[in-house]
């Protein structure tokens, strides 16, 4: 796949060139309006496309993550929606998954104290390992939306249920 960074979302010549390769595209949406996102999707189409919600601030404050954009994008565009995060911490990617993100992008660094505009918002290898574990737990926790009594609940059911109508 080719990743189109937020800074290039409005470069329609680049988008057309990338689409002509036939490879899947991932387009980040930081610094962009809905109109700009719609225009980019119109250029590339929605086939083999993942749109990642993003706020291009390094690091980004939680109040500006606006993770509810994930379902908004999912409702508007017939393609998978992901999340590209630049926050400090590991909670927002888990929330993004709970809101329907199909992929998570985080910058990786060897040392967050290194020089660079995004180092403070990047994840070190040990943090990345935890991030993957937490995201996988979030995915597993979502379930399938079908209410059932699990085998593991049956002891509690027998012990705690007061009345069976």
Please provide the DSSP assignment of 114-157 as one string: SSSTTGGGSB-HHHHHHHHHHHHHHHHHH--S-----GGGHHHH
Q: What is the pLDDT of residues 98-143, one digit of tens each?
A: 999 999 999 999 988 888 888 888 999 999 999 999 999 999 999 9
Span 23-45, average pLDDT: 99
Domain tally, the chain: 1
- Give the CATH number, domain containing residue 122: 3.20.20.70
Q: Is residue 153 part of a domain?
A: yes
In angstroms, rounded to a whole number, what is the distance separating the alpha carbons of residues 86 and 105?
9
Residue 19 has pLDDT above 90, yes or no: yes
Query: CA Rg, the chain, in Å?
Result: 20
Domain encompassing residue 77? 2-160
In angstroms, rounded to a whole number, what is the distance separating the alpha carbons of residues 15 and 42?
10
From the list 1, 59, 10, 61, the residue with the least C-alpha distance to 37 is 10
DSSP state of 32: -
Q: Is residue 102 part of a domain?
A: yes
Q: What are phi and psi of 49, to 5 degrees?
A: -130, 135
> What pLDDT shows up at residue 113?
83
Q: Is residue 40 within 8 Å of 47, Cβ to Cβ?
A: no
Rounded to two decimals, what is the model's pTM? 0.91
Q: How confident is the model at residue 33 (pLDDT cuts 50, 70, 90)?
A: very high
Q: Is residue 165 part of a domain?
A: no
Residue 164 has pLDDT above 90, yes or no: no
Q: Residues near 55 by Cβ (< 8 Å), separated by ≥ 6?
A: 30, 64, 65, 66, 86
Q: What is the pLDDT of residues 69-105, one digit of tens each?
A: 999 999 999 999 999 999 999 999 999 999 999 999 9
> What pLDDT shows up at residue 165?
79
Span 20-39, average pLDDT: 98
Q: Is residue 25 part of a domain?
A: yes
């Amino acid at each position: 796949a080719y990743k189109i960074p937020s800074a290039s979302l409005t470069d329609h010549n680049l988008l057309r060139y990338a689409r002509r390769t036939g490879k899947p595209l991932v387009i980040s949406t930081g610094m962009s309006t809905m109109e700009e996102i719609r225009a980019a999707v119109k250029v590339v189409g929605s086939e083999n496309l993942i749109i990642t919600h993003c706020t291009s601030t390094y690091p980004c404050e939680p109040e500006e993550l606006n993770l509810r954009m994930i379902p908004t994008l999912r409702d508007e565009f017939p393609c998978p929606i992901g999340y590209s995060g630049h926050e400090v911490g590991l909670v927002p990617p888990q929330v993004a998954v709970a809101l329907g993100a199909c992929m998570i992008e985080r910058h990786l660094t060897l040392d967050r104290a290194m020089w660079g505009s995004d180092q403070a918002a990047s994840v070190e290898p040990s943090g990345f390992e935890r991030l993957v574990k937490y995201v996988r737990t979030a995915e597993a926790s979502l379930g399938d939306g079908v209410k059932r009594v699990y085998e593991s609940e049956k002891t509690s059911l027998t012990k705690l249920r007061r009345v069976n109508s």
